[in-house]
Amino acid sequence: MTATNVSVMARLTAPVAVAAVLAASLLPVDAAAQSVRDQFRAAAKADNIGRAFQTFNVFSGTPGISTAKYYSDVDLNSYKLPLSHSFAPLGWQGPLGNVSPYVELTLGYLDANQNGVVDTPFGSGVAKLNFNSFTGLAGAGLDIPLSDTLRLRPILLGGYTQLTGGAHYNGPGQGFFFDVTHGIITDVHINSAILGGAMELIYNRTIWTDVRLRARVRYNQLVTIVTDASDTSLDDTGNFGVATGGAELNGPTGMKLFGRDLRWLGFIHATWLLNTPKSVLGFNSFVELGGGVQFVDNETIPGIQGLILRASAIVGPGVDGWSVGLSLAF
């Protein structure tokens, strides 16, 4: 079987190209399917298909990767609920007196889709790939003030993720395709633990009368450890490095809504999937440019400073996209 599309579609279907033709021509159908399946399983393991699937989980759950719709070789719909909190300083004597405990939780969901034409020994058909990833990633660390404007956060991370879905093939040899790929690229499920750590640097200051600058950079190192999979070929521990960074300006509009101040904001944000080949998703880096307004209300709910409405565009080598959403300002 071969596929006309690249990235995930090509990685999942290309390994059986020659084997399918030879086996189907020399063996009965049932024996051919088993022969091809054995070769497909071995090729999938050698080609790190399990790690390619884990990329969806990491993209879904890593803090700092934007909630957005991404258009590339694989179309992604990514949704996140990020929560974080810095507690009061420890108050100890010595250099740790101003250090605060810090916790975070990121809940993520990702829907990935790709369509392509697949050639089998029986003719060509259409394969539709659809995968869904659910991820929860928790973090605990320290919020360390380096100066009045600069803070450092070392964070330990741990979580769990589940991937389900697969390829849906319509065309000649549909039964043969299912027998060969069941549990490997059709009816797939992978449950994995995620362990790792992150280092984040945050810069805050007022640069004009009431215009605030907030910049941050963060590096995440994550390991995915499979605890259950639909096929042994997907049992592949993955190592991932993800870097994010950006800056935001926030200033007054001079307007009020329901007696509360409205502030404008503009931001730029970048993401790099450092050791993920571009061929997996069709991209491995992008920039997000956007803006919005903040409804300031720090009285109704303690700890919440207001509501933010923002919109952005995503551009990068091999990808574009957009995002519109509401968030809380803490």
- Global pTM? 0.86
The pLDDT-based confidence of 26 (bands split at 50, 70, 90) is: very low
Kindly report which listed range (34-38, 126-130, 143-147) carries the lowest average pLDDT score: 34-38
Would the pLDDT of 231 be above 80? yes
What's the rounded Cα separation, in Å, for the pair 123 and 174?
Answer: 10
Amino acid type, 148: D
Amino acid type, 296: V
Burial of 146 (0-12, 13-18, 19+ CB in 10 A): exposed
Q: Which two tokens stand for residue 28?
A: 């009965």
**How far is C-alpha 215 from the geometric centre of its chain's CA atoms?**
21
The fraction of the chain above a pLDDT of 70, given in percent, is: 85
CB 229 within 8 A of CB 190: yes
Average pLDDT, the chain: 85
